[in-house]
Structure 1
């Protein structure tokens, strides 16, 4: 059948989406330490911000996805957020609960009231409004001239593909689900990973009379947390002000060998590159020992090399050995989730969700896009980002306001 002209519907205009609610100041995605620091720094120069958080609280990673015995690995002087120090009565290395308390007081001081349960599903730059559209899972939208990505490097757990893992009949968890070794008492536990989390979880298992075996596939630097009563990190930072990295690394390794001994003999092979150089080059953080190495030397934490496969009741290793285990804990780290929702990464973020430009210049992108806390420099890096972002936005703000 042929259509006559009067049967053809006139062309309808495109359906327009409702305009998003425009925010006067930046939208900050994430209410962890980086997001709070950015909001506080903006507030200090008179700029409002809207902090959105997918969970029901600030610092959700610290509150819900960390183990009970966690303490800051660095002294509190290196972990303070901008414009407010830790309480004087806090210990040198604050506990998890003390750090959470500090962040809650920080948010209260600067009047930061995040939008909770606000899950961001897409952020993109919209030329028609000359700003960023932030879309949420409930269908709502916000918009602003600026967006600060503060979801961090540790937004999602890394769950590696391990041959046979799905066949294992015991318990398998990631360290984000681990709270205490109490529920593992008497069990043989395979800990996959030897970073700070893997080491501390193995130590905690020891203290609760479990029997941990730690998989160490790659090389790792293990350093004492303190040298001569001072923070190893603090000493290194002070030395770097006047000495080349290679000499600081030589000093750290020499002192570590004196205090800890040659870690290679315990299955912890050191990388060819020094700890500070490796951190700068690849972002790989050295392990700061808080007691795990002593338990390794005593044989209470067994160290094994590469993992070949998981069986229904244990694991086989690349050296041909096989062992039975009751549980498996994946201390396999975290990753950024930025690529899943930021659709206009521009020149700022790479495919892995981290800034393309290395520290200290990876905090600013195009069209008012910023990143806070993706420095691989911990809380100190987050603070530096926050202050730079606030200064940059303030310059633009001053030009926009009469």
Structure 2
């Protein structure tokens, strides 16, 4: 089956929905192809205790404020799933699911999108597949010989799964800190980080992070000094569970181990720690394999962009992968502006004679 449309949006999570909102407002014909069987994007696969860094007021997509969650200052993942589900229905966004996008190819008059349900011919494409589906595992010596259980952030669900076990959590970012805090009173926890944990001030939340990222973008655009953005503030937002575990002395980070054996890690001083499980909270990489036929990626695995537009393929926009596709664009509050800019750029492209 072959179908044609002005714009194909790949991914039905928060970035794809924000793009759809702005495309709809501009009167552009589009579809959203989502690999998931249900609405909610990656949020529906998060661990049980995950909460946002910001109150609902500062965690909204364009046009529709997120409602407050009863009894919670920082909404949990299931509340976000409900919000995204409602958002999709409220704006009648044309999401087709489940559809696996295999590849995007150049075509005579646009781009060809190959999926498991057929082919789409589009004048332009917005890729909004995020990073959750491509977890990163560091090349630690001995990782393949460790006999215990190994999980990434994407696999972790509940501390009850590790009750009474010796668990190593690896990673000094938000996920590592939150999972370590989650496990602290249930497991024999060791938290390993590449450098000492850097906590942001306790009164900083996701809105402040968005403001910091925006200020950095403005400074760079106007030739000012690089403020460092979010990275200049720290690595870990002290959400209430992390703050409580930290203040109780339960989050004592160890320097990263040098290698793994069958039984567990060996530390820089030569000591060993037998472990039942290792949880790698070591981040993600952008999910871009579907764009391989376009041959746009650089040595870092990214597609060079101006804003969200691919430099070498103006019919392609990338949305929601991080600061390189818009300040804080991987967050709910941050994705709205780059989504608006991408939609406006595509509107101008579709009106031009070159498309």
Q: Quickly name the TM-score band, shorter chain normalised.
A: 0.7 to 0.9
Indicate whether 1:68 and 2:48 are aligned. Answer: yes
Per-residue deviation, 1:299: 4.5
- Partner SS, residue 166 of structure 1: coil
May I ask how many residue pairs the two structures share in their alignment?
A: 337
Find the aligned partners of 1:280 and 1:174 in 2 and give their Cα distance: 23
Find the aligned partners of 1:95 and 1:174 in 2 and give their Cα distance: 20
Aligned to 1:311: 261
Would the aligned equivalents of 2:9 and 2:127 in 1 still touch at CA under 8 Å? yes
Spell out, residue by residue over 1:160-196, the C-alpha distance to the aligned partner (whole angstroms, 9 max, x if none). Answer: 2222222222211111011110111111100111110
TM-score by length of 1: 0.75
Spell out, residue by residue over 1:196-255, the C-alpha distance to the aligned partner (whole angstroms, 9 max, x if none). Answer: 000000111024x2121111113542113416xxx48539838987xx99xxxxxxxxxx
- Partner SS, residue 224 of structure 1: coil
Query: What are the equivalent positions in structure 2 for 1:220-369 lying under 5 Å apart?
Result: 220-226=197-203, 231=205, 233-234=207-208, 237=211, 277=228, 279=230, 286-290=235-239, 291-292=241-242, 295-296=245-246, 298-346=248-296, 349-357=297-305, 361-365=307-311, 366-369=313-316
Per-residue deviation, 1:153: 3.5
TM-score by length of 2: 0.84
- Are the structure 2 counterparts of residues 27 and 134 from structure 1 closer, same or farther at C-alpha, using a change threshold of 3 Å? same
Indicate whether 1:210 and 2:150 are aligned. Answer: no
Aligned to 1:59: 40
Find the aligned partners of 1:174 and 1:285 in 2 and give their Cα distance: 23
Indicate whether 1:173 and 2:157 are aligned. Answer: no
Superposition RMSD in Å: 3.0
If you compute each CA radius of gyration, which structure gives the higher value, 1 or 2?
1
Find the aligned partners of 1:214 and 1:41 in 2 and give their Cα distance: 42
Indicate whether 1:392 and 2:316 are aligned. Answer: no
Would the aligned equivalents of 1:363 and 1:371 in 2 still touch at CA under 8 Å? yes
User: Could you list the runs of 5+ residues in structure 2 that have no partner in the other structure?
Assistant: 220-225
- Are the structure 2 counterparts of residues 145 and 357 from structure 1 closer, same or farther at C-alpha, using a change threshold of 3 Å? closer
- Partner SS, residue 35 of structure 1: helix
Per-residue deviation, 1:394: 2.6
Task: Give 1:195's match in structure 2, choosing from 173, 187, 190.
Answer: 173
User: Could you list the runs of 5+ residues in structure 1 that have no partner in the other structure?
Assistant: 1-17, 246-273
Would the aligned equivalents of 2:151 and 2:279 in 1 still touch at CA under 8 Å? yes
Find the aligned partners of 1:30 and 1:225 in 2 and give their Cα distance: 34
Aligned to 1:265: none
Find the aligned partners of 2:114 and 2:209 in 1 and give their Cα distance: 45
Aligned to 1:82: 62
Would the aligned equivalents of 1:375 and 1:381 in 2 still touch at CA under 8 Å? no
Task: Give 1:186's match in structure 2, choosing from 152, 161, 164.
Answer: 164
